[in-house]
Structure 1
């Protein structure tokens, strides 16, 4: 693996967060809530190597004889689910709606074969290898939740209540949030992608939407009164950070609806929003292709596309962005100076 050890830190009483050391596809935040006789994971790392690392770090923080026996999965994207295999006896909990997404997304071994076997000279093959080639799912079996629910579910980890709320389709169909009232913390999954001035994150990628639902989910998170908000990716946020993310989502929604009304295709609308560079500090702007396409589907009433077709569009736009950056890069002159 090329990923260095992630940071595990305490953020509240008996609550820890595992933060990957860099931003990018597949590098999701995970949580550990430690009780005296039981422990809970909130999400898992993407592949067995990273999950084993998080497990080893978790066990350092647990009382003797205690192990992680439950895992709440905020949604069914593999980067939050597939690491559960390192805890084969743990109860995996998800929303009933997440089961549909599990069937839609390629399995771990299918994804591994796709990354390894795609033409590296094609936009998709090159993109997959650059962003997913560091993970290894060659021996990873699909993960199936043991417990599914609809609406709300309340657990206890020792003395601590855990309030789990299923959401209308937002990032995916089957999103949930985990509210820990004693710790005044919420784990949001990919309803929120974190970013701060000190630690810029990446553009979100939303598969389901509409953005109205994503914004409503963010407002629901604020309504819990939590002071610590752990997004699916990026740095931990405070309440003003969530308000800033809502403003970002509102901007993307406004521009998408305006460009849809102007007759642009979803792909060209995404290109236009990227070119406007409203949030230049955020990485992976090509992921706007997915978010804009999801919003267009709700506006047009169209069907969800094949995931590979969607990722191919992402890869094509990423190559266009790279080529444009190369074209605009300063070039050396004969006198040693540079020119754009």
Structure 2
């Protein structure tokens, strides 16, 4: 295939993608203490409004940037000063270049910049993601943790290793008693564990346990995908993950094949609540099997 045809196909694909975003509406849900959750298409966005500027946690897809900024302006006149990416996936980082162009400083774990800087191949979905342009890359990176002090808010972000990916961050707002879990939590659908990006089921469970340690009965938790939850619902999610992990580990130890495990129905009691997302139960078991046997 010649270069001109490749370019034409890419432009056509981008045009279709942009058109698919035209009808997306950005929802704004107030969590109190100048903290909000924005919804649209892709990962849930956290918004912290301070007298020193607005702080975004993730920024969804590039074609939605104008709508996201309009939603921000509906609650504050402050410009977006910082964007923190919870991991590298495009539904959380797609607006980086646009936000940087508006003056925001993009921050993430060092593995996020590393993965965004090179082509990424996802075998599970058969998908290749090209390297991001330089303008989309985080310009400030951290290893274990980082804190921001803006106005009356302290915003703490810490790395949870080998969870959804190898570069996940959880964001804690202690003054507001809000936690943004990133994609370590998918609520109401089976979570995607990106094994090809260094993720693991064990790491995801560990991340959820760290979040539970920070939370109390009043904590509001923003999942990467799904509705707002509390600590009780987080623990129910944790119980589902650990139960499936134990059953899958036992089946693997007994020498069962993937097909036999899928037919055994080890997720049966969870499928109604969790199996209606973009990964059905049999494919989720295949994904977790890769995570535990790779």
TM-score, with structure 1 as normaliser:
0.68
Question: Could you report, residue by residue, the CA deviation over 1:66-124 in whole angstroms, capped at 9, with x for unpaired residues?
Answer: 21021111111111111222212311111112234333536xxxx9xxxxxxxxxxxx8
Number of aligned positions between the proteins: 260
Q: How much does 1:180 deviate?
A: 0.3
What is the CA distance between 1:51 and its match in structure 2? Answer: 2.7
Contact 1:266 1:296 in 2 (8 A): yes
| Map of 2:15 onto structure 1 | none
SS of alignment partner, residue 145 of structure 1: coil
SS at match of 2:43: coil
In the TM superposition, 1:1-340 aligns within 5 A as 1=20, 3-20=23-40, 27-45=42-60, 47-63=61-77, 66-87=78-99, 88=101, 89-102=103-116, 103=118, 105=120, 141=133, 143-194=136-187, 201-208=188-195, 209-225=199-215, 227-266=219-258, 269-270=261-262, 272-273=264-265, 276=268, 278-282=270-274, 283-284=276-277, 286=279, 292-293=285-286, 295-297=288-290, 299-300=292-293, 302=294
Q: Which residue of 2 aligns with 1:120?
A: none
| Gap regions ≥5 residues in structure 1 | 21-25, 112-123, 129-136, 195-200, 303-340
Give the conservation status (yes or no) of the 8 Å contact 1:274–1:288: no
1:189-227 Cα distance to aligned partner (Å, 9 max, x none): 011112xxxxxx221111144322212211211222351
Query: SS of the residue aligned with 2:184?
Result: strand
Unaligned stretches of 5+ residues in structure 2: 1-19
Q: Distance in 1 between matches of 2:163 and 2:26?
A: 28
Which residue of structure 1 aligns with residue 11 of structure 2? none
Offset at residue 296 of structure 1 (A)? 3.7
State the TM-score, normalized to the length of structure 2: 0.78
Tell me, in whole angstroms, the C-alpha distance in 2 between the residues paired with 1:78 and 1:285: 16
Report the CA distance between 1:278 and its aligned residue. 2.9
